[in-house]
Amino acid sequence: MKHLLSVTDIQQDIFNILQLAEQLKKDPWGHQILDKKVLAMIFEKASTRTRISFEVAMFQLGGHALFLSKSDLQLGRGELIEDTSRVMSRYVDGVMIRAVEHSDVVNFAQHSDVPVINGLTNLEHPCQALTDIFTIFEKKKTYRVHLTFVGDGNNVCNSLLLASSLVGMDMTVVCPERYEPDVEIINKAKSFALKSGSQIEVTNNISEGIKDADVVYTDVWVSMGEENETDKRLKVLNDYQVNSEILNLANPDAIVMHCLPAIRGQEITEDVISCDQSAIWDQAENRLHVQKAILYTLLGKF
């Protein structure tokens, strides 16, 4: 049995998942490959895309999804993660969790007899990163491109480092000092990059980092759970906004990506979100198609 807690968990399957997603996208209702399978979805934090795309994915594949907010579960009243996990394994075929602490998802998976999927933690957002790589290939027809992530080296950035280095994509992270991605993840990505022939860089210099970028990616400056640091973050990240001036420093055919939700006027400007180079809405749609491929890979064969 396989879990998807980190992008590293599917390093052997990544190209199969991306190819399967392409097939599934062509015929959204034509593959009832999870007939009678049930996915439980536990949310400790808010979600629009992750919740809806997983729920619709299960329905289109012939299965069913259960939305479970932590506050409605006994988990929210202190029932142990271990006990929740053991019990859920008796009812459902897979569990997707969006949690505050990555270690809680790891703990849940350790006690689960069914596959567990990370729907975002403080450390990673693997489903998002796989979607992003898929979207880049869809737009650029190759993985051999240069992706520049601008802003906070957060969960999305961490998973993108792992996914891009696995498929042979160059990635530069442009962020202020002390907002770098996780050190262990950078090292892991560099080791993947050695094998795949790509380059991983981290810099504080935005014009340096964005030069030659084929993809310009950003995410919020204040992630869920970091609201008490808002003032400090807005100040420190102020020079790392993706606006038209910055976008002009990238390659002329660069695409713009954002995992959403976006805060216009902070990490990105309205004109960039809605410009012709923006791939943001296709990227959001692709969560549905890529997650179907993830679900089939984990639940279909289990």
How near is the Cβ of 195 to ligand CP at its closest, in Å?
A: 28
Q: Assess 266 for contact with ligand NVA (CB under 6 A).
A: no
Q: Which residues contact 131 (CB under 8 A, 6 or more apart)?
A: 283, 286, 287, 290, 291
Task: Give the C-alpha separation, 39 to 65, whole Å.
Answer: 5
How near is the Cβ of 224 to ligand NVA at its closest, in Å?
A: 4
Q: Assess 158 for contact with ligand CP (CB under 6 A).
A: no
Q: Which of 39, 156, 160, 167 binds ligand NVA (CB under 6 A)?
A: 156
Residue 48 binds what, of ligand NVA, ligand CP, none (CB under 5 to 8 Å, by partner type)? ligand CP
Backbone angles phi, psi at 232, to 5 degrees: -60, -45
Quick note: the x/- pattern for ligand CP over 119-138, rule CB under 6 A, is -x-------x----------
Burial of 170 (0-12, 13-18, 19+ CB in 10 A): buried
Site for ligand CP in 32-61 (CB under 6 A): 47-50
Residue 155 binds what, of ligand NVA, ligand CP, none (CB under 5 to 8 Å, by partner type)? ligand NVA
DSSP letters spanning 140-162: HS-S--EEEEES---HHHHHHHH
Q: Assess 259 for contact with ligand CP (CB under 6 A).
A: yes
Quick note: the x/- pattern for ligand NVA over 201-230, rule CB under 6 A, is ------------------xx--xx------
Please say which residue, 102 or 193, places its beta carbon nearer to ligand CP: 102
Task: Give the C-alpha separation, 195 to 211, whole Å.
Answer: 24
Task: Give the C-alpha separation, 132 to 282, whole Å.
Answer: 10
The DSSP symbol for 4 reads: B
Q: Which of 6, 85, 154, 241 binds ligand NVA (CB under 6 A)?
A: 154
Q: Which residues are catalytic?
A: 98, 125, 128, 219, 259, 287
How near is the Cβ of 48 to ligand CP at its closest, in Å?
A: 3
Q: Assess 53 for contact with ligand NVA (CB under 6 A).
A: no
Contact between 49 and 284 (Cβ < 8 Å): yes
How near is the Cβ of 159 to ligand NVA at its closest, in Å?
A: 10
Tell me how many degrees the CA angle 46-37-115 measures, rounded to the nearest 5: 65
Residue 219 binds what, of ligand CP, ligand NVA, none (CB under 5 to 8 Å, by partner type)? ligand NVA
Select from 242, 178, 177 the least CA-distant residue to 210.
Answer: 242
Please say which residue, 47 or 297, places its beta carbon nearer to ligand NVA: 47
Q: Assess 84 for contact with ligand CP (CB under 6 A).
A: no
Task: Give the C-alpha separation, 169 to 163, whole Å.
Answer: 8
Tell me how many degrees the CA angle 179-106-134 measures, rounded to the nearest 5: 65
Interface residues with ligand NVA (CB under 6 A)?
120, 154-156, 219-220, 223-224, 259
